[in-house]
Amino acid sequence: MSRTRWLFIGPDGLRHGWRFLIFAAAIVLVVKFLEQPAIAFLAAIFHVNRNALSAPAIIVSDGFDLIVILIVTGVFALCERRRIDSYGLPISEAFGGFFSNGVIAGLAAIVFVGACMFISGGMHIHGIALRGTDLIASPLLWIVAMLFVGIMEEYLFRGYALRSLWRGAGFWPAALITTALFAGDHLEKPHENAIDIGMIFALAIVLCVSVRITGSLWWAVGWHAGFDLGQLFIIGTPNGGRVPQGRLFDVTFPGPAWITGGELGTEASYFMVPAVLGTFIYVIWFLRRQSLALQHVS
């Protein structure tokens, strides 16, 4: 085999690194040329302010992105003669035990951070912010929105991308590369700082480890959705300087930024450090045992 052919072709055909690059390029091209016009069109149809931090705006934007990711992943699955759910989201495990476990763990992490902010005086709760039918509609919309966020972001960064690099270079290089991309994607937030990016990077590594332990993305999807539901809807923390619309509590954050995260929200709070560490310990010790137990039963 010539050196040029060896560079591109391996035992399984096109080398997995090149597959990852083609996958990433396809996503980037669609996002660059189609995302904003499509989201603007959908927002106009459904009368949604796409610049607001609200459940309807998230459903529109992340819903479109999820469709794009499913289509691109589906094309690659067809080329590789695999099922579209074979990259970490098996339909047979959808919203099952790993997912519900992840939701509880994600909510526990954000409740810990919120409780620390409240006890330290960094957060004041003035009552319930919702009234009338919004008490029913807003929670439902936020649950749907956070499910879209969890599935979309996890399948984008830890679905085909992680699996292709994993097969080609091993787990840890794949985890570090996809995590760096995940953290880098958050740099677009205004006034981003080191603690916020550091916590996002650390959390992404933990979620990659959960994929390795459980063999699927469902725990990570549940954790991601539960954590974001807690921080945006229940606590109502700012995110990138924007305040969530339709949040549960009427809250203010008079404390210093190291407690509250400032305009970046809970992910930039120093209380996230023990929360991330606790999540990592849980994944390594308890989620591993649960996974082994389920494998033994099956």
pLDDT along the chain (298 residues), means of 10: 69 85 94 92 94 96 96 95 94 92 97 97 95 95 98 97 94 97 87 91 97 95 98 93 94 94 94 97 89 61
The set of residues, in sequence order, having a beta carbon less than 8 Å from that of 25 and lying 6+ positions away, is none
The pTM is what? Answer: 0.93
Q: Are 56 and 42 in contact (CB under 8 A)?
A: no
> Per-residue pLDDT tens for 135-166?
999 999 999 999 999 999 999 999 999 999 99
Distance (Å, whole) CA 236 – CA 182: 23
**What totals of helices (H) and strands (E) does the chain contain, helices first?**
13, 4
Q: Is 7 helix (H, G, I), strand (E, B) or coil?
A: helix
Cβ neighbour number for residue 69 with a 10 Å cutoff: 24
